[in-house]
A and B are shown apart, each in its own frame.
Chain A
Amino acid sequence: MSDPRIAGASVTHFGKHPERTGRDLFAEAGLEALSQAGIDPDDAEALYYGNFMGELAEHQGHQGPLMAEAIGLDVPATRVEAACASAGTAVREAVKTIRNGEAEVVVVGGAERMTNIGTAAATDALAIAADDLYEVRAGMTFPGAYALMARSYFDQYGGSHEDLAHIAVKNHEHALVNEHAQIQKEITVEDATEAPTIASPLGLYDSCPITDGAAAAVLTTESYAEEHDLDAPVAITGTGQGGDNLALQDRPHLAQTPAADKAADEAYEDAGVGPDDVDFAEVHDCFTIAEVFAIESLGFYERGEGIAAARNGETTRDGDRPINLSGGLKAKGHPVGATGVAQLATVAWLLDGSHPRADAVPDSTVGVAHNAGGTVASTTVHIMEVRE
């Protein structure tokens, strides 16, 4: 079994590009990833592609072959949908395909076009990640669902909206040097706490923006990388995926994310590392509170302790274990179906030193990507390590 190497990766600018088609966004990222990898495109044997709301935003289903064609490949192409974890789940499929020996070169990516339909329709589209009968019909929006989880967290463990504000401030600050980021604007704790409420207790600055964008990566075997003299020092050494009841009402706890616990446990065991070995992580902060759930599920903090991490400066770029050096979904943006691969690319670039925030984690060897779907009914965790 060979741990896949990341031979090349690319992300488009994340932001408002309402006029750009999904296929054009993905073509930009995919072609650049192939170019970075320096492989013969004829060697690519499969595409796994994440996309969540293409039917609603572009009236476009059956996107697998469309996207393979867009990057000039004639390969079996599979679209993977797991809400906001679509691309992370696509990564997992690509990892398994390479480990199984079924392919030597696999392209993985994702794209989402969202701003072309406007905020109201995008809010509507995002809500379908929830249970339509029991949640959406009771008025639950995507922010509303995380608001219910946040209030439950405060009730069970303590913490305040101001603690969440520190997470937003941190991630905005991290994104200041990320030219791919949607929001490059420093904010203060007061900005965040005084912003308009969208779903109490969460306000505007607790939420990631609505984003158009794409990401792609080329994965290959260690032997292919050696034979072709590729510069591919980062390996995906652990993969994990977990699930949960789709509807919040059916879960025993509203302030825990067991799907992420399961994904993390599996990925750590697979890689043979533990939380203490991890130098930094890119986690799924679609809302500020989601970062708290993520760092607790990844084992960096006990339950109820993650809320204070940003405020204490432990997860900032000068902290012990920086979280979301890219700016996270919060500031980098969240083109839903692309996010998991954008996280993978970020971790690889931080490990190989090419990311603009790599100076925060010099000599790091282990990074983690945590990608969650809906209210964390799906989660993937991937461990990446420097090999050579």
Chain B
Amino acid sequence: MTESAQDGEYDAWLDSIESDNGYYLECSNGHGWLPPRRVCPRCHDQDLSEVDLPESGEIASHTTITVPTPQFEDDAPYVTAIADFGPVSVTGLVRDVDPDDVSIGDVVGLDVGERVTTGERAVVFRPR
């Protein structure tokens, strides 16, 4: 792995969130996905278009991780959650909330933050 090489459409997607133009990919039948995708795995449609992500989503499930991988050693304990943005769900780190106060149904916005341990970019959720 070359350090300078980015992960194509994934990093472009993070860029879009950083510049407040976050999007998801939608097929003709309304199934939503995150890039890179060339085909809808549910209906085989290859006509995927970029659609603006909703401003906020709801936490569908969450966990406070106390035994991390080495790449998150200094982040722990941290909260990883899946948030439902309607046509797509997104996995991210919950920030700006006490881990004990995170609940299913909490409304969050999507942002790009930094991992404490490595300084790398990561999807983060903040309360709205």
Chain A: residues with CB nearer than 8 A to chain B?
119-121, 123-124, 127, 133-141, 143-144, 147-149, 151-152, 155, 196-202, 245, 247-250, 254
Contact = CB atoms under 8 A, between A and B. Distances in A.
B7 interface: yes
A199 B62 CA distance: 10
A117 to B, nearest CB: 11
**Of B60, B90, B93, most A-chain CB atoms within 10 Å:** B60
Q: Is the contact region of chain A dominated by helix, strand, or loop, or is it mixed?
A: helix
Contacts, number: 101
B56 interface: no
Given A151-B61, A151-B104, A139 B93 contact: yes
Interface residues of B, number: 36
B66 A152 contact: no
Contacts of B10: 133-134
B61 A254 contact: yes
Interface centre among A135, A136, A140, A201 (most CB of B within 10 A): A140
Nearest to B80: A139
Q: Which 7 A-B pairs have the closest CB atoms?
A: A147-B63, A124-B69, A249-B89, A152-B61, A148-B61, A138-B91, A200-B64
Interface string B13-55: 0000000000000000000011000000100000000000000
A155 B68 CA distance: 25
Contacts of A134: 10, 34, 90-91, 123
B69 A123 contact: yes
Nearest to B9: A133
B70 A140 contact: no
21 contacts: A123-B68, A123-B69, A127-B69, A134-B10, A134-B91, A137-B122, A138-B122, A139-B75, A139-B78, A139-B115, A140-B91, A141-B69, A143-B67, A144-B80, A148-B81, A155-B61, A247-B91, A248-B82, A249-B91, A250-B89, A254-B60
A123 B67 contact: yes
Nearest to A127: B69
